[in-house]
Structure 1
Amino acid sequence: MNDRRHRFLLWLDRSVEWTGIPSLAEGTPRRRHLRWLPLLALLLASIGLTWCAMHSGRDYWIGYSLIMAGFFIANLMPIWGPLRRLNERADEYERKQRRDSFMVGLATTTAAGFAGIWLTVGLLAMQIWSASAAQQELMALGFYMMALFSAVPTLYASWRTRPITEEE
Protein backbone atom coordinates (compact mmCIF):
# COMPACT_ATOMS: atom_id res chain seq x y z
CA MET A 1 0.00 0.00 0.00
CA ASN A 2 1.43 3.33 -0.91
CA ASP A 3 2.04 6.09 1.62
CA ARG A 4 -0.72 8.34 0.30
CA ARG A 5 -3.41 5.70 0.74
CA HIS A 6 -2.07 4.81 4.19
CA ARG A 7 -2.26 8.46 5.32
CA PHE A 8 -5.80 8.73 4.00
CA LEU A 9 -6.88 5.64 5.95
CA LEU A 10 -5.23 7.00 9.11
CA TRP A 11 -7.06 10.30 8.59
CA LEU A 12 -10.36 8.42 8.26
CA ASP A 13 -9.65 6.46 11.46
CA ARG A 14 -8.86 9.63 13.40
CA SER A 15 -11.94 11.40 12.09
CA VAL A 16 -14.17 8.53 13.21
CA GLU A 17 -12.51 8.39 16.64
CA TRP A 18 -13.08 12.14 16.98
CA THR A 19 -16.85 11.59 16.84
CA GLY A 20 -16.73 9.31 19.89
CA ILE A 21 -18.78 6.58 18.23
CA PRO A 22 -16.11 3.84 18.54
CA SER A 23 -15.83 4.45 22.29
CA LEU A 24 -19.61 4.12 22.58
CA ALA A 25 -19.50 0.84 20.67
CA GLU A 26 -16.68 -0.61 22.76
CA GLY A 27 -18.24 -0.30 26.19
CA THR A 28 -21.47 0.36 27.96
CA PRO A 29 -22.73 3.91 27.58
CA ARG A 30 -22.35 6.30 30.47
CA ARG A 31 -25.71 6.85 32.09
CA ARG A 32 -26.64 10.51 32.53
CA HIS A 33 -29.43 12.28 34.31
CA LEU A 34 -31.24 14.07 31.52
CA ARG A 35 -33.55 16.52 33.19
CA TRP A 36 -34.17 19.31 30.73
CA LEU A 37 -33.88 17.54 27.40
CA PRO A 38 -36.96 15.32 27.96
CA LEU A 39 -38.89 18.42 29.03
CA LEU A 40 -37.88 20.10 25.78
CA ALA A 41 -39.02 17.07 23.78
CA LEU A 42 -42.37 16.97 25.58
CA LEU A 43 -42.84 20.71 25.23
CA LEU A 44 -42.18 20.63 21.48
CA ALA A 45 -44.49 17.66 20.96
CA SER A 46 -47.25 19.18 23.11
CA ILE A 47 -47.09 22.52 21.27
CA GLY A 48 -47.18 20.62 17.98
CA LEU A 49 -50.22 18.58 19.02
CA THR A 50 -52.01 21.72 20.20
CA TRP A 51 -51.18 23.45 16.92
CA CYS A 52 -52.56 20.49 14.96
CA ALA A 53 -55.78 20.53 17.01
CA MET A 54 -56.28 24.28 16.61
CA HIS A 55 -55.41 24.46 12.92
CA SER A 56 -56.93 21.30 11.53
CA GLY A 57 -56.98 21.24 7.77
CA ARG A 58 -54.59 24.15 7.15
CA ASP A 59 -50.99 24.77 8.20
CA TYR A 60 -50.94 21.27 9.60
CA TRP A 61 -47.31 20.79 8.69
CA ILE A 62 -46.11 23.27 11.36
CA GLY A 63 -47.60 21.28 14.22
CA TYR A 64 -46.58 17.99 12.68
CA SER A 65 -42.98 19.24 12.35
CA LEU A 66 -42.93 20.22 16.04
CA ILE A 67 -44.27 16.78 16.99
CA MET A 68 -41.59 15.11 14.86
CA ALA A 69 -38.84 17.26 16.44
CA GLY A 70 -40.06 16.27 19.91
CA PHE A 71 -40.36 12.64 18.79
CA PHE A 72 -36.78 12.68 17.47
CA ILE A 73 -35.37 14.15 20.69
CA ALA A 74 -37.45 11.76 22.81
CA ASN A 75 -36.14 8.73 20.92
CA LEU A 76 -32.59 9.66 21.94
CA MET A 77 -33.52 9.60 25.63
CA PRO A 78 -33.28 5.82 26.23
CA ILE A 79 -29.77 5.75 24.75
CA TRP A 80 -28.13 8.17 27.20
CA GLY A 81 -30.70 8.32 29.98
CA PRO A 82 -30.31 6.95 33.51
CA LEU A 83 -32.25 3.75 32.89
CA ARG A 84 -30.40 0.62 31.89
CA ARG A 85 -31.60 -1.41 28.95
CA LEU A 86 -33.43 -4.65 29.53
CA ASN A 87 -30.49 -6.67 28.23
CA GLU A 88 -28.02 -5.07 30.70
CA ARG A 89 -27.41 -6.50 34.15
CA ALA A 90 -29.15 -4.50 36.84
CA ASP A 91 -29.49 -4.83 40.58
CA GLU A 92 -32.78 -4.73 42.50
CA TYR A 93 -32.81 -0.96 42.86
CA GLU A 94 -32.23 -0.40 39.14
CA ARG A 95 -34.92 -2.93 38.21
CA LYS A 96 -37.39 -1.20 40.56
CA GLN A 97 -36.44 2.20 39.15
CA ARG A 98 -36.90 0.95 35.59
CA ARG A 99 -40.25 -0.68 36.44
CA ASP A 100 -41.57 2.44 38.19
CA SER A 101 -40.39 4.72 35.39
CA PHE A 102 -42.00 2.64 32.68
CA MET A 103 -45.23 2.37 34.64
CA VAL A 104 -45.40 6.17 34.92
CA GLY A 105 -44.64 6.43 31.20
CA LEU A 106 -47.30 3.87 30.36
CA ALA A 107 -49.89 5.60 32.54
CA THR A 108 -49.10 8.98 30.97
CA THR A 109 -49.29 7.57 27.46
CA THR A 110 -52.57 5.80 28.23
CA ALA A 111 -54.13 8.95 29.67
CA ALA A 112 -53.03 11.01 26.66
CA GLY A 113 -54.36 8.41 24.24
CA PHE A 114 -57.68 8.09 26.06
CA ALA A 115 -58.19 11.87 26.19
CA GLY A 116 -57.03 12.40 22.60
CA ILE A 117 -59.20 9.69 21.07
CA TRP A 118 -62.33 10.81 22.92
CA LEU A 119 -61.66 14.44 22.02
CA THR A 120 -61.24 13.47 18.38
CA VAL A 121 -64.41 11.35 18.40
CA GLY A 122 -66.34 14.14 20.11
CA LEU A 123 -65.22 16.82 17.65
CA LEU A 124 -65.95 14.48 14.77
CA ALA A 125 -69.42 13.70 16.13
CA MET A 126 -70.22 17.40 16.58
CA GLN A 127 -69.10 17.90 12.96
CA ILE A 128 -66.44 20.43 13.93
CA TRP A 129 -63.78 18.33 12.21
CA SER A 130 -64.04 16.49 8.94
CA ALA A 131 -62.99 12.87 8.62
CA SER A 132 -59.67 13.82 7.00
CA ALA A 133 -58.90 16.31 9.80
CA ALA A 134 -59.70 13.65 12.40
CA GLN A 135 -57.45 11.20 10.58
CA GLN A 136 -54.60 13.72 10.60
CA GLU A 137 -55.16 14.42 14.28
CA LEU A 138 -55.12 10.72 15.18
CA MET A 139 -51.86 10.27 13.28
CA ALA A 140 -50.34 13.22 15.15
CA LEU A 141 -51.66 11.77 18.42
CA GLY A 142 -49.95 8.47 17.66
CA PHE A 143 -46.55 10.12 17.24
CA TYR A 144 -47.20 12.25 20.32
CA MET A 145 -47.90 9.11 22.34
CA MET A 146 -44.67 7.50 21.09
CA ALA A 147 -42.76 10.63 22.12
CA LEU A 148 -44.41 10.46 25.53
CA PHE A 149 -43.48 6.82 26.03
CA SER A 150 -39.85 7.54 25.10
CA ALA A 151 -39.37 10.70 27.16
CA VAL A 152 -41.47 10.26 30.31
CA PRO A 153 -39.58 7.26 31.80
CA THR A 154 -36.27 9.07 31.37
CA LEU A 155 -37.75 12.25 32.82
CA TYR A 156 -39.22 10.40 35.80
CA ALA A 157 -36.00 8.50 36.55
CA SER A 158 -33.87 11.62 36.15
CA TRP A 159 -35.93 13.74 38.51
CA ARG A 160 -36.52 10.92 40.99
CA THR A 161 -32.84 10.20 41.68
CA ARG A 162 -29.81 12.38 42.17
CA PRO A 163 -26.82 12.24 39.83
CA ILE A 164 -23.85 10.18 40.98
CA THR A 165 -20.63 12.16 41.11
CA GLU A 166 -17.26 10.82 39.99
CA GLU A 167 -16.11 10.41 43.63
CA GLU A 168 -18.94 7.99 44.43
Structure 2
Amino acid sequence: MTVPRATVRPARRTDLPEVAAVYGHHALHGVATFDEAPRPLAEWERKYEDLVARGLPFLVTEEAGRVTGFAHAGPYRPKPAYRYTVEDSVYLAPDATGRGLGTALLGALLDACGHTGARRVVAVITDPGGQASAALHRRFGFTEAGRLTAVGYKHGRWLDTLLFQREL
Protein backbone atom coordinates (compact mmCIF):
# COMPACT_ATOMS: atom_id res chain seq x y z
CA MET A 1 0.00 0.00 0.00
CA THR A 2 1.42 3.38 -0.89
CA VAL A 3 1.22 6.25 1.53
CA PRO A 4 1.06 9.59 -0.24
CA ARG A 5 2.51 12.55 1.61
CA ALA A 6 4.03 10.36 4.34
CA THR A 7 7.75 10.50 4.98
CA VAL A 8 9.80 7.97 6.93
CA ARG A 9 12.85 9.64 8.40
CA PRO A 10 15.22 9.42 11.36
CA ALA A 11 13.65 10.73 14.54
CA ARG A 12 14.84 14.01 15.97
CA ARG A 13 14.84 15.08 19.59
CA THR A 14 12.06 17.53 18.74
CA ASP A 15 9.83 14.60 17.68
CA LEU A 16 9.90 13.01 21.11
CA PRO A 17 6.80 14.73 22.57
CA GLU A 18 4.74 13.34 19.67
CA VAL A 19 6.43 9.94 19.97
CA ALA A 20 5.54 9.94 23.66
CA ALA A 21 1.92 10.81 22.84
CA VAL A 22 1.60 7.97 20.30
CA TYR A 23 3.08 5.50 22.77
CA GLY A 24 1.04 6.90 25.64
CA HIS A 25 -2.18 6.12 23.77
CA HIS A 26 -1.13 2.47 23.46
CA ALA A 27 -0.06 2.30 27.10
CA LEU A 28 -3.45 3.58 28.28
CA HIS A 29 -5.80 1.98 25.77
CA GLY A 30 -4.14 -0.99 24.08
CA VAL A 31 -2.11 -4.11 24.66
CA ALA A 32 0.76 -3.54 22.22
CA THR A 33 2.81 -2.54 25.25
CA PHE A 34 2.60 -3.90 28.76
CA ASP A 35 3.22 -0.39 30.12
CA GLU A 36 0.02 0.76 31.78
CA ALA A 37 0.82 4.48 31.86
CA PRO A 38 2.55 6.84 29.43
CA ARG A 39 6.32 7.14 29.79
CA PRO A 40 7.60 10.58 30.82
CA LEU A 41 9.29 12.64 28.13
CA ALA A 42 12.59 12.42 30.04
CA GLU A 43 12.51 8.64 29.63
CA TRP A 44 12.00 9.02 25.87
CA GLU A 45 14.92 11.45 25.75
CA ARG A 46 17.16 8.91 27.53
CA LYS A 47 16.01 6.12 25.20
CA TYR A 48 16.60 8.26 22.12
CA GLU A 49 20.11 9.27 23.25
CA ASP A 50 20.98 5.65 24.08
CA LEU A 51 19.84 4.30 20.71
CA VAL A 52 21.57 7.08 18.78
CA ALA A 53 24.79 6.50 20.75
CA ARG A 54 24.61 2.77 19.89
CA GLY A 55 24.08 3.55 16.20
CA LEU A 56 20.64 1.91 16.24
CA PRO A 57 17.74 3.25 14.17
CA PHE A 58 14.91 5.34 15.60
CA LEU A 59 12.51 6.38 12.83
CA VAL A 60 9.25 8.31 12.54
CA THR A 61 6.57 8.75 9.93
CA GLU A 62 5.67 12.34 9.32
CA GLU A 63 2.56 13.58 7.54
CA ALA A 64 1.80 17.27 7.12
CA GLY A 65 4.38 18.12 9.79
CA ARG A 66 2.91 15.68 12.33
CA VAL A 67 4.50 12.48 13.65
CA THR A 68 2.01 9.68 12.96
CA GLY A 69 4.13 6.73 14.01
CA PHE A 70 7.55 5.57 15.06
CA ALA A 71 9.79 2.53 15.05
CA HIS A 72 13.08 1.74 16.68
CA ALA A 73 15.45 -1.15 17.21
CA GLY A 74 17.00 -1.62 20.61
CA PRO A 75 19.15 -4.22 22.31
CA TYR A 76 17.22 -7.47 22.69
CA ARG A 77 18.72 -8.26 26.10
CA PRO A 78 21.50 -6.57 28.09
CA LYS A 79 23.96 -9.50 28.28
CA PRO A 80 26.95 -9.19 25.92
CA ALA A 81 26.29 -12.39 23.96
CA TYR A 82 23.05 -10.84 22.65
CA ARG A 83 24.90 -7.89 21.08
CA TYR A 84 24.09 -8.98 17.50
CA THR A 85 20.35 -9.30 18.15
CA VAL A 86 17.94 -6.36 18.30
CA GLU A 87 14.27 -6.07 19.18
CA ASP A 88 12.00 -3.95 17.03
CA SER A 89 9.13 -1.73 18.13
CA VAL A 90 6.56 -0.19 15.78
CA TYR A 91 3.72 2.08 16.94
CA LEU A 92 1.19 4.15 15.00
CA ALA A 93 -1.10 6.95 16.09
CA PRO A 94 -4.65 5.62 16.41
CA ASP A 95 -5.82 7.64 13.39
CA ALA A 96 -2.89 6.47 11.23
CA THR A 97 -3.60 2.76 10.91
CA GLY A 98 -4.58 0.90 7.76
CA ARG A 99 -2.68 3.15 5.36
CA GLY A 100 0.62 1.31 5.02
CA LEU A 101 2.57 3.33 7.57
CA GLY A 102 3.50 0.23 9.58
CA THR A 103 4.79 -1.41 6.41
CA ALA A 104 6.80 1.69 5.53
CA LEU A 105 8.25 1.93 9.04
CA LEU A 106 9.15 -1.73 9.44
CA GLY A 107 10.70 -1.90 5.96
CA ALA A 108 12.86 1.15 6.63
CA LEU A 109 13.75 -0.12 10.10
CA LEU A 110 14.92 -3.50 8.80
CA ASP A 111 16.97 -1.80 6.10
CA ALA A 112 18.59 0.44 8.70
CA CYS A 113 19.23 -2.51 11.02
CA GLY A 114 21.13 -4.18 8.21
CA HIS A 115 23.77 -1.45 8.52
CA THR A 116 24.27 -1.79 12.29
CA GLY A 117 26.06 -5.13 12.53
CA ALA A 118 22.94 -6.81 13.88
CA ARG A 119 22.28 -10.30 12.55
CA ARG A 120 18.81 -11.02 13.89
CA VAL A 121 15.69 -9.03 14.78
CA VAL A 122 13.23 -10.20 17.40
CA ALA A 123 9.64 -8.97 17.76
CA VAL A 124 7.55 -9.53 20.88
CA ILE A 125 3.85 -9.35 19.99
CA THR A 126 0.86 -9.51 22.33
CA ASP A 127 -1.78 -12.19 21.78
CA PRO A 128 -4.66 -11.67 21.66
CA GLY A 129 -4.53 -8.12 20.41
CA GLY A 130 -1.51 -8.06 18.14
CA GLN A 131 -2.93 -9.72 15.04
CA ALA A 132 -2.11 -6.78 12.75
CA SER A 133 1.45 -6.65 14.10
CA ALA A 134 1.90 -10.40 13.66
CA ALA A 135 0.64 -10.17 10.06
CA LEU A 136 2.95 -7.23 9.37
CA HIS A 137 5.98 -9.09 10.68
CA ARG A 138 5.09 -12.26 8.75
CA ARG A 139 4.95 -10.20 5.54
CA PHE A 140 8.56 -9.22 6.19
CA GLY A 141 9.70 -12.81 6.65
CA PHE A 142 9.54 -13.07 10.43
CA THR A 143 8.73 -16.53 11.74
CA GLU A 144 7.11 -17.41 15.02
CA ALA A 145 9.70 -18.74 17.45
CA GLY A 146 7.56 -19.32 20.53
CA ARG A 147 4.77 -18.31 22.86
CA LEU A 148 4.91 -17.22 26.49
CA THR A 149 1.49 -17.84 28.01
CA ALA A 150 -0.30 -15.51 30.41
CA VAL A 151 2.83 -13.42 31.09
CA GLY A 152 1.00 -10.08 31.17
CA TYR A 153 -2.15 -8.87 32.85
CA LYS A 154 -3.70 -5.71 31.46
CA HIS A 155 -7.23 -4.33 31.09
CA GLY A 156 -8.61 -7.17 33.22
CA ARG A 157 -7.26 -10.08 31.20
CA TRP A 158 -4.24 -12.33 30.90
CA LEU A 159 -2.15 -11.89 27.77
CA ASP A 160 0.37 -14.06 25.96
CA THR A 161 3.35 -12.85 23.99
CA LEU A 162 4.44 -14.33 20.70
CA LEU A 163 8.13 -14.25 19.87
CA PHE A 164 8.99 -13.67 16.22
CA GLN A 165 12.45 -13.55 14.65
CA ARG A 166 14.06 -12.73 11.34
CA GLU A 167 17.61 -12.97 10.11
CA LEU A 168 19.04 -9.85 8.50
Question: Normalising to structure 2: TM-score of the pair?
Answer: 0.28
- Higher RCO by CA contacts (8 Å cutoff, separation 6 or greater): 1
Name the structure with the higher helix share: 1
Question: Normalising to structure 1: TM-score of the pair?
Answer: 0.28
Name the structure with the higher strand share: 2
